[in-house]
Structure 1
Amino acid sequence: MTAARPFIVAIDGPAGAGKSTASRLLAARLGFAMVDTGAIYRTVALAAMRGGIALDDDARLGDLLPRLDIRFGPPAAPGAGPRVFLGAEDVSIEIRTPPVSLGASQVSARPVVRAGLLDLQRRLATAAGQRGAVLEGRDIGTVVFPDADAKFFLVATAEERARRRHAELQRKGDRSTFEEVLADQRRRDRNDTEREIAPLRPAGDAVVVDTSGTPLETVVETLAREVEHRLGRGRREAR
């Protein structure tokens, strides 16, 4: 473990693999900060779409990034994830809509966006006073924190991930069909795995965890045991 900064846990994987919920519960169990990097890219996509900026217009995206004030706030309810703010506006719900989800996949493929947000992600994770931080996204263990103290890559079948997403959208009143959600899921997978910059892939030293048909509590327990083992090892080595 690197003594100069908090203990960093990187959780990567495709959309719908359970990263957000597992990361949130793991962070709460460990007393770590939670940094949802996917929410950051979603917020950039939302701001660009609102501003009429094409999601492949690198020049205008580059001009947009320094003007964005993206912050995390306390959860709206116990057990919920941190709220996401764009300036003073809570955009936590709007950034989870299907159009913004696809937009996030597009802007995350732009080198100018990835480079522009790298420092923000690292600063949020290493803020003073934090014992540790859990970051979830697509390239945390390969690009953002290649020296993370624990790396995980969560996977699940495309159908299982689409079922989870479809159920989530139904609870929010969205009328998308399962077939539409599955098609969106596969488009996002192609965008994420085939992009030239930071394609979705597990880090060489990541622990791969298949969440298909696995209770959430079991997934979190698996992650927590590995982190606690490494924390304990780091304390012993520091003596």
Structure 2
Amino acid sequence: MKQITIAIDGFSSTGKSTVAKQLAKHLGYIYVDSGAMYRAVTWFAMQNQFIGASYFHIQDLIDHLDQISINFKFNPELGFAEVYLNGNNIEKDIRTMEVSSFVSPVAEISEVRKLLVKQQQKMGESKGIVMDGRDIGTVVFPDAELKLFMTASAETRANRRFQELISRGDEVNFEQVLHNVQERDFIDSNRKDSPLVKANDAIEIDNSNLSLEEQFNKILQLVENKQKEYK
């Protein structure tokens, strides 16, 4: 069966990465978490004191983008690829609330987006790829055979994120997480460069009341139907 490109966009904490990983594993496709790439750039900016609670030295970050090398390495024990920045595994480092609070402003920068979109498009040249993010179906792969747009209520998404952070031992409160989700929604949807919008030909999946199994089965059926069209 012919390999296709699957583009999954949507708001933060809608489970895009979870279902993308499931699909890639089931189909034998390459999985790319584009959001992790923006988190990696954010982590780089934080480590170099380009961004903090009271400052953001945008030009300094832009001037150092040529020092950023991001790649993914499959971890067989985890069953998915982890993110590496300049040869160092930063998978756990980029999943904190602190990184979450800075990633949307970093992702607004056109130079950052151009750099990562170019890398993402190269990764998908041979098809057989599942990529999730904010602009995959609209900018990165506008000709993707299957485009999905994931959504859920802000409260539902905040609760998922809250439970995830608590299970890792992070000290956070629900209101803090909800505020972060709502703030990221606003920034992602209103930025000038590649805002988060549903592609005209994307299929919307509201998973507020879907279990992971129900969601996977629903989306897998869409994938299989699309694959049949391109046999």
Instruction: State the TM-score, normalizing by the size of structure 2.
Output: 0.93
Provide the rounded CA distance (Å) in 2 between the counterparts of 1:133 and 1:204: 21
1:153–1:206 Cα contact (<8 Å) kept: yes
Cα distance in 1, alignment partners of residues 76 and 181 from structure 2: 27
- The offset of 1:126, in angstroms, is 2.6
1:35-59 Cα distance to aligned partner (Å, 9 max, x none): 1000000000000111111485443
State whether structure 2 residue 150 is matched by structure 1 residue 154: yes
SS in 2 for 1:204: coil
1:207 alignment partner in structure 2: 203
Query: Residue in 2 aligned with 1:175?
Result: 171
Displacement of 1:208 in angstroms is 0.1
Structure 1 gaps, min length 5: none
Give, in angstroms, the shift of residue 76 of structure 1: 5.7
CA distance in 2, matches of 1:70, 1:9: 21
Which range is displaced more, 143-152 or 81-90? 81-90
2:40/2:85 contact within 8 Å kept: yes
Q: Describe the shift of the 1:95–1:192 C-alpha distance in structure 2 as closer, same or farther (beyond 3 A).
A: same
CA distance in 2, matches of 1:199, 1:165: 22
2:31 aligned with 1:30 = no
**TM superposition shift of 1:60:** 2.3
Aligned-partner SS, 1:74: strand
The CA deviation at 1:121 is: 0.8
Name the counterpart of 2:50: 53
Query: In 1, Cα distance between the equivalents of 2:139 and 2:60?
Result: 24
Matched-pair identity in %: 38
1:17 aligned counterpart, secondary structure: coil
Say if 1:34 and 1:135, in contact at 8 Å, map to a contact too.
Answer: yes
Partners in 2 of 1:51 and 1:108 — Cα distance? 17
Answer yes or no: is the 8 Å Cα contact 2:100–2:180 preserved in 1: no
Query: Separation in 2 of the partners of 1:62 and 1:41?
Result: 13
Aligned to 2:39: 42
Compare 17-26 and 60-69 and name the one that shifted more: 60-69
How far does the alpha carbon of each residue in 1:179-222 deviate from its partner, in whole angstroms, 9 at most, with x for none? Answer: 11101111111111111111111100000001102011111111
Residue-pair matches, total: 228
Residue 162 (structure 2) aligns with = 166
1:10 is aligned to 2:11: no
CA distance in 2, matches of 1:228, 1:115: 32
Matched with 2:89 is 90
Q: Secondary structure at the match of 2:192?
A: coil
Tell me if the contact between 1:39 and 1:84 (Cα under 8 Å) persists in the aligned partners: yes
Corresponding residue to 1:20 among 13, 17, 22: 17
Q: Which runs of 5+ in 2 are unaligned?
A: none
Task: Indicate if the aligned counterparts of 1:56 and 1:107 stay in contact, CA closer than 8 A.
Answer: no
Distance 2:78 2:113 in 1: 31
Do the aligned partners of 2:158 and 2:174 also contact (CA within 8 Å) in 1?
yes
Residue identity opposite 2:197 in structure 1: R
The aligned residue for residue 113 of structure 1 is: 112
TM-score by length of 1: 0.90
Contact 2:68–2:85 under 8 Å retained in 1? yes
Counterpart residue number, 1:74: 74
Secondary structure of the corresponding residue to residue 64 of structure 2: helix
User: Is this contact kept in 2: 1:62–1:112, CA < 8 A?
Assistant: yes
Aligned to 2:132: 136
> SS of the counterpart of 1:136?
strand
